């Protein structure tokens, strides 16, 4: 485990690639802030979509799922949870809302982290919420034959309280240094948090919630409008690969934070790009509904499914979306890829 205020560790992260990532994020942050100031009311729809996607995706990574209909009702607090998965989804919803609304008053301290973990499990009949692990745990991968391979041995249970105290203290000290960028300190903190693995359950979800908290407190609020958790879930294999590349040798301070830092900064850049694309959709509100679908696909790099189109434009009916997709295919403006449940669409940009 390395200390956050180790300038040599920090300096090694300042590769040309990472510096370029930081510059892009700083620029996008300024552009987003200007739009938010001018169009605050119009962003309510993006906020609602992001809440649903974040809650669904962060829990899905851990195998906690429910139906789309039930998920939306739970996130909107329109129904009570019916089972263990839904109780944990409701807990995530509440912690996410707390961070969205109160991040300025939520210092990154062990007590605050324990409180957030307690709230994550407040609907569950479990004593683990708000308590550090009381026995050692492991991070393991399940093999094809059903056996488990130990991938990482976290900090022991008896060392965990002190490790979390040290981690938070060093992070807060590093944040006071104007020469250290929070965008680099955040993924270092998150990697250390995951290597400590302070809880019996909920470490992954807590890491994503803490990512948002640190970003918000540092002035980067793109995660309120674009789900970082969904972007991580959609690139889960890359996430675990970056984590594995960066935690090797962690216990003796010989690990390399760069792969994980690179991955997280890439996610943030992708979120800002998505925000820009969604803003273009908001600007086209005066367009007809078919034209809005057309502009959405045209401004998207890569393919989109019908479900994704409807999620971004919940006021457009499924029938209108389907008719528009057929019309755009017939005109040659979009290309249909795959079939059945795997059908997606991409803008025809020619050769």
CATH number of the domain to which 173 belongs: 1.10.3290.10
Q: What is the pLDDT of residue 288?
A: 84
- Rounded (5°) CA angle 21-3-134: 110
Residue 183 lies in a domain: yes
What pLDDT score was predicted for residue 231?
A: 96
Which domain-ending residue is among 232, 256, 280? 280
Q: Is the pLDDT of residue 2 over 60?
A: no
Mean residue pLDDT across the chain:
91
**Whether this model's pTM surpasses 0.85:** no
100 and 156 co-located in one domain = yes
Chain-centre distance for alpha carbon 259: 17
Residue 2, domain member (yes or no): no
Whether residue 196 is found in the same domain as residue 217: yes
| Shared-domain flag, residues 157 and 215 | yes
- Which residue, among 198, 210, 205, 201, has the nearest Cα to 126 in the 3D structure? 201
Distance of alpha carbon 252 from alpha carbon 230, whole angstroms: 33
| 100-133 confidence digits (pLDDT tens) | 999 999 999 999 999 999 999 999 988 899 999 9
**Domain total for the chain?**
2
Q: What share of the chain is helix, strand, coil (3-state, %, to 5)?
A: 65, 5, 30
pLDDT band at residue 40, thresholds of 50, 70 and 90? confident
Residue 185 has pLDDT above 90, yes or no: yes
Same-domain status, 89 and 157:
yes
* 292 contact partners, CB below 8 Å, separation of at least 6: 281, 284, 285, 313, 316
The three-state secondary structure class of 268 is helix
**pLDDT the model gives residue 284:** 64
Question: Is 102 inside any structural domain?
Answer: yes
The larger pLDDT score, comparing residue 146 to residue 55, is at 55
Residue 146 burial class via C-beta count within 10 angstroms: exposed 0-12, middle 13-18, buried 19 and up: exposed
**Percent of the chain at pLDDT exceeding 70:** 96
Task: Give the pLDDT of residue 5.
Answer: 54
For range 308-319, the mean pLDDT: 84
Do 66 and 198 fall into the same domain?
A: yes
Both 270 and 297 in one domain: the answer is no
What is the domain-level CATH number for residue 298? 1.10.10.10
**Residue 310 pLDDT class (50, 70, 90 cuts):** confident
Does any domain span residue 1? Answer: no
Which residue from 232, 243, 234, 229 is spatially nearest to 195, judged by alpha carbons?
243
Helices (H) and strands (E) in the chain, counts: 15, 4
Whether residue 232 sits in one domain with residue 115: yes
Same domain, 149 and 269: yes
Query: In angstroms, rounded to a whole number, what is the distance separating the alpha carbons of residues 207 and 266?
Result: 17
Binned at pLDDT 50, 70 and 90, residue 64 comes out as: very high
Which residues constitute the domain of residue 331?
289-347
**309 and 227 inside one domain:** no
Distance CA 25, CA 19 (A): 10
């Amino acid at each position: 485990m390395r200390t956050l205020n180790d300038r040599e560790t920090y300096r090694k992260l300042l590769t040309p690639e990472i510096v370029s990532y930081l510059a892009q994020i700083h620029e996008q942050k300024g552009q987003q802030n200007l739009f938010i100031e001018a169009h605050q009311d119009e962003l309510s729809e993006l906020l609602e979509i992001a809440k649903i996607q974040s809650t669904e995706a962060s829990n899905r990574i851990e195998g906690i799922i429910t139906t789309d209909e039930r998920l939306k009702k739970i996130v909107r607090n329109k129904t009570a949870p019916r089972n263990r998965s839904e109780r944990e989804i409701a807990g995530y919803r509440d912690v996410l809302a707390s961070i969205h609304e109160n991040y300025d008053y939520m210092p990154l301290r062990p007590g605050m982290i324990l409180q957030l973990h307690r709230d994550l499990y407040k609907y569950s009949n479990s004593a683990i919420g708000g308590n550090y692990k009381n026995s050692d745990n492991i991070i393991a991968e399940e093999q094809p034959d059903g056996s488990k391979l130990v991938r990482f041995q976290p900090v022991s249970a008896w060392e965990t309280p002190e490790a979390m105290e040290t981690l938070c203290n060093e992070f807060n000290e590093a944040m006071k240094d104007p020469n250290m960028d929070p965008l680099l300190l955040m993924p270092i903190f998150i990697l250390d948090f995951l290597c400590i693995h302070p809880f019996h359950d909920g470490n992954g979800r807590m890491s994503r919630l803490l990512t948002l908290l640190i970003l918000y407190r540092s002035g980067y609020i793109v995660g309120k409008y674009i789900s970082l958790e969904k972007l991580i879930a959609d690139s889960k294999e890359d996430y675990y690969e970056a984590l594995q590349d960066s935690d090797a040798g962690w216990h003796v301070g010989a690990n390399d934070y760069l792969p994980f830092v690179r991955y997280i900064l890439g996610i943030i850049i992708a979120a800002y790009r998505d925000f820009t694309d969604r803003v273009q959709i908001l600007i086209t509100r005066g367009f007809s509904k078919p034209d809005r679908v057309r502009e959405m696909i045209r401004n998207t790099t890569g393919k989109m499914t019908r479900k994704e189109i409807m999620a971004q434009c919940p006021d457009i009916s499924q029938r209108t979306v389907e008719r528009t997709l057929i019309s755009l295919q017939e005109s040659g403006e979009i290309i249909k890829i795959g079939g059945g449940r795997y059908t997606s669409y991409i803008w025809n940009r020619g050769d």
